[in-house]
Structure 1
Amino acid sequence: MPDTFTPDTPEQVRDAIAWAVSEESPLEIVARATKRTIGRPMQTANTLDLSGLSGIGLYEAEELICQAGPGTPLAEIEAALTAQNQRLAFEPMDLGVLLGGGEGRQSIAGVFACNLAGPRRIKDGAARDHLLGFTAVTGRGEIVKSGGRVVKNVTGYDLSKLVCGSWGTLAALTDLTFKVLPMPETETTLLLHGLDELTAVTAMSAAMGSAHDVSSAAHLPDGIAAGGVSGVATALRVEGFAPSVVARVAALTDELARFGAEITALEGEVSRALWRDLRDARPLAEPRERAVWKLSVAPMAGPRVVAAIRPLVAECAYFYDWAGGLVWLAVPPRGDAQADVVRGAVDAVGGHATLIRAAPEVRASVDSFHPQPAPLAALSTRVKKSFDPKGVLNPGRMTAGV
């Protein structure tokens, strides 16, 4: 009978992993398990549940830093930041609705371990760019620490960049320190109506390259609705102090007039609702049986990828984020979730495709994470072995047999 270990100190985490190493008994690493269904299903003997290491240990609003245990709910952290008019600038995604687990349940460790950022990523960077330091237990059963409380504290190898996006396969996080930023006074979203996809990507690139500090850019094709917006619409978000936002929106509207689209605006909470839906891929949450892909390519290549997929995959649905560089794609739940077609289209332009939602039998037979070129795969294997030589941490989740 599999056991669940629920430590409440870093030392207990170390002891649990050391035992797993001595027994060569693999562990599934979870904090609040909201993303458990992403990646290959794992055949682990036991579970290491980090939810007991919870709570905000340090929050210095004037220094723009926060430290918390891995099991701390993101909602708790965001509530504390909001009270000080601050935020996590990279806009962490909440995949609870898409994955069927309910919203507002994810942990801060899951946010950084999976490195999933929202629409503001193209301006403020990914989750890994905001992690200042961490303490963790490796697959050797050793406690390690990297970074600290200031940006310039990194010396030697920047391990924060390495553990972000490792999905719990390198180490079990026991403490995280990250930077926070002030919340903007207001925001406005411009909607350009009726643009075809190639023109929309051109308009988004023009907006992002302008002097008006656009923080997010997305495009909704026909049939996709989000935050009360329906119909073909290209969305551009401008944030900051109210007078600045007014001036920048007016100038941006003038610059975009050359695209010939009707332009309307969303203000305040209406704008925020749109970007929350796009952040969490809610337009593709239903019907639940569809498989959902996250495609990352160069922004101008987004429409080319979709154009290669649509003739071969009937009834697919999609929308663009990150100015066209992120394509959320839902496909019918048949066969291999159209993995050959999707990855072939992405490989033709360069990029990667991640299977975010699919039935367990599909995830068992299809690589959820984009296969790496042989030299990079060999390097990843060496990194895995250096952190986890016995392969006891989330074995096989990202790559079969690793």
Structure 2
Amino acid sequence: MIETIRPLNIEELRAAVAGAAERALPLEILGRGSKRDLGRPVEAQAVIDLSRLAGIRLYEPEELVLKAGAGTSMAEIEAVIAQRGQVLAFEPPDLAPLYGGAAGSGSIGGTIACNLAGPRRLKAGAARDHFLGFAAVSGRGEIFKAGGRVVKNVTGYDLPKLLAGSHGTLAVMTEVTLRVHPAPETVRTLILVGLDDARAVEAMAVALGSPHEISGAAHLPPGEAGSSAVDRIAETGTGVTALRVEGPPASVSYRVGALEAWLRRFGVPSLTLDPAESAILWREIRDVRSFAAARLDPRMPLWRLSVPPSEGPRIVAAIQAARPGARHLYDWGGGLVWLALPHAPDAHAGLVRGALQTQAGSQAGHATLIRAEASVRRAVPVFEPEAPALAALSRRVKAAFDPLSILNRGRMG
């Protein structure tokens, strides 16, 4: 039976990791476990559960800074800062339902470790861009800290950016410090109805290149639009292209009207969602709700493609021609493609990564296998294979933080 260790403080965590290092005992690191199936299955003989290292340690709304234990739930953090009219600007997605978990069950530590960001990433940046500092224990069993409470306090190596996206393979974070932002005063969403993928990506590029400051740009094909909880979206019976505008009410009203005129060249009907409808739609897009395990066969592999927006429709068309049952949607102005495919022992990895090759022989982006059965995730590269020079650098970084590779062994490769 695998032992589960639930430290109460950083000293207990240090002792647990140091003891594991002495025995070369591999550990699985969990915040609250909501993203346990993201990445390759971990090879572990014990589990470090950080759920007791929770709670908001410091919150200064006037200084736009928050510090919390790594095991603190995202739901708690978002509720507390919402009371003061603030948000996490990178709009972290709640991926727990993709794996059959309860909505809101993720932790702030897991969110940062996976560098997750939602639709506002194209305007506000990724999680790492709002990650100011942390306390952690390395794979050597050593306590260390990095960063500070404001960006100008960060000197030397920017370790927060290194740990964001490391999936718990470099160190075990015990607390994180983040920048928060004022919430938009209001939000509205301009919807273009009936564009195909290629024209939708073109329209999103035109909107993002306009002076009207778009904070979200996504395209839902007919099947995904039809599953929306926003009645006016579901009732269109076709694909919809969503463009979000946020800010002071007068500004938002003017910009939505100007944007609608700006996009009239595409010759399709449009409608405008009010703030409540907008909140529902962008939460669905943020969390990829139409692909949640409760709505889709959880055995269907789910891929996340990061591509140049102009390449997205070509890549999706090539994959759908080979696998007609594929489903997809676009976020980040077309730069992010979510792709669900029929079940296969290899998750169609060859097809997906082959479609990323351009006619000139270069690589058009990269693909990550976000969800698949454990046997599949053991058999294929979950993350995009690194070039030899980059892989060698990654190994040296890993050796510096975790020389015995006891932290989340195997998760990233």
Aligned partner of 2:318 in structure 1 is 308
2:139 — aligned with what? Answer: 139
Give the deviation of 1:197 after TM superposition: 1.3
Pairing of 1:3-402 with structure 2 (within 5 A): 3-225=3-225, 226-228=228-230, 229-230=233-234, 231-285=238-292, 286-348=296-358, 349-399=363-413
Q: Distance in 2 between matches of 1:13 and 1:309?
A: 45
- State the AA in 1 paired with 2:301: A
Supply the distance in 1 between the matched residues of 2:78 and 2:244 (Cα, whole angstroms): 21
Structure 2 SS opposite 1:310: helix
Contact kept, 8 Å, 2:56 with 2:77, in 1: the verdict is: yes
Q: Is the 8 A contact 2:5 2:47 kept in 1?
A: yes
8 Å contact 1:168–1:393 — kept in the other structure?
yes
- Report the TM-score when normalising by structure 2: 0.95
Aligned partners of 1:195, 1:61: CA distance in 2, in Å? Answer: 42
Preserved contact between residue 313 and residue 338 of structure 1 (Cα < 8 Å): no
1:350 shift after superposition: 2.1
Letter in 2 for 1:94: D
Q: Give the 3-state SS of the residue equivalent to 1:311 in structure 2.
A: helix
Q: What's the CA shift for 1:321?
A: 0.4
Q: TM-score, normalised by structure 1?
A: 0.98
Please give the alpha-carbon distance, in whole angstroms, between the structure 2 residues aligned to 1:347 and 1:218. Answer: 24
1:310 Cα deviation from its structure 2 partner? 1.1
Q: Cα offset for 1:175?
A: 1.1
Give the SS at the match of 2:392: helix
Q: CA shift at 1:198, angstroms?
A: 1.2
The letter for the 1-side match of 2:309 is: P
Q: Check conservation: 2:59, 2:65, Cα contact below 8 A.
A: yes
Please give the alpha-carbon distance, in whole angstroms, between the structure 2 residues aligned to 1:144 and 1:52. Answer: 20
Q: Which portions of structure 1, spanning 4 or more consecutive aligned residues, are displaced by more than 6 angstroms?
A: none
Work out the CA distance in 2 between the residues paired with 1:387 and 1:219: 41
Mapped to 1, the partners of 2:229 and 2:346 lie a distance apart of: 31
Gaps of 5+ in 1: none
Aligned-partner Cα distance in 1 for 2:365–2:13: 36
Aligned AA (1:19): G
